[in-house]
């Protein structure tokens, strides 16, 4: 499976590159946030009140932003794990059709032009028809020229996680 198709199915679990100092500060912030959260849980049994909610929210916020500063996105990781689990279960292959192909160009401040290739495809599932639009690489885009029908492999648990013929290997 190529990288663009893999990102369409589920985002990869990754650690973003950050400056070394940011990574250290992020980890320290996350550890302090974890200490606040654990301390809040311990105090919740002995000292009820609004202060524990404040410390709990501050602790959770520090954990979240500390991990993000260190290069980890907890929300991205959570959704990546959910999507990965759905894709690793039962997969079904169905006949589909190419609805549309298009290219988007973007130029940066220096005048460099980059192209993004898109394919919109439709296929039927047990719950009804599904239409998806996904980014494909240039060779895949070229292979789709003039093609009417194509095989689509999708996750039975989530038909919106789908690959078109040529994006998967047996």
Query: Two tokens at 113?
Result: 């032009």
Angle value at C-alpha 70, between 68 and 75, nearest 5 degrees: 30
Residue 77 counted as domain residue? no
Whether residue 163 is predicted with pLDDT greater than 60 in this model: the reply is yes
Domain that holds residue 58: 20-72
- Kindly state whether residues 57 and 101 are assigned to the same domain: no
- Kindly state whether residues 154 and 103 are assigned to the same domain: yes
Q: pLDDT tens digit string along 98-153?
A: 999 999 998 888 888 999 999 899 999 988 999 998 888 888 888 888 888 899 98
Q: pLDDT tens digit string along 51-88?
A: 777 778 888 889 888 888 888 888 877 777 777 777 77
Residue of 12, 10, 153 lying closest to 86 (CA atoms): 10
């Amino acid at each position: 499976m190529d990288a663009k198709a893999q990102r369409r199915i589920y985002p990869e679990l990754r650690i973003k590159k950050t400056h070394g100092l940011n990574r250290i500060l992020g980890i320290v912030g996350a550890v302090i946030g974890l200490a606040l959260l654990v301390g809040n849980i311990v105090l919740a049994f002995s000292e009820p009140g609004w202060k524990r909610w404040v410390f709990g929210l501050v602790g959770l916020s520090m954990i979240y932003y500390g991990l993000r500063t260190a290069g980890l996105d907890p929300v991205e990781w959570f959704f990546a794990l959910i999507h990965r689990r759905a894709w690793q279960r039962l997969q079904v292959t169905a006949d589909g059709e190419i609805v549309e192909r298009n290219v988007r160009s973007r130029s940066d401040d220096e005048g460099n032009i980059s192209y993004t290739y898109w394919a919109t495809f439709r296929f039927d599932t047990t719950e009804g028809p599904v239409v998806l639009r996904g980014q494909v690489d240039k060779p895949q885009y070229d292979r789709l020229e003039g093609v009417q029908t194509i095989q689509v492999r999708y996750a039975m648990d989530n038909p919106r996680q789908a690959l078109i013929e040529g994006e998967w290997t047996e």
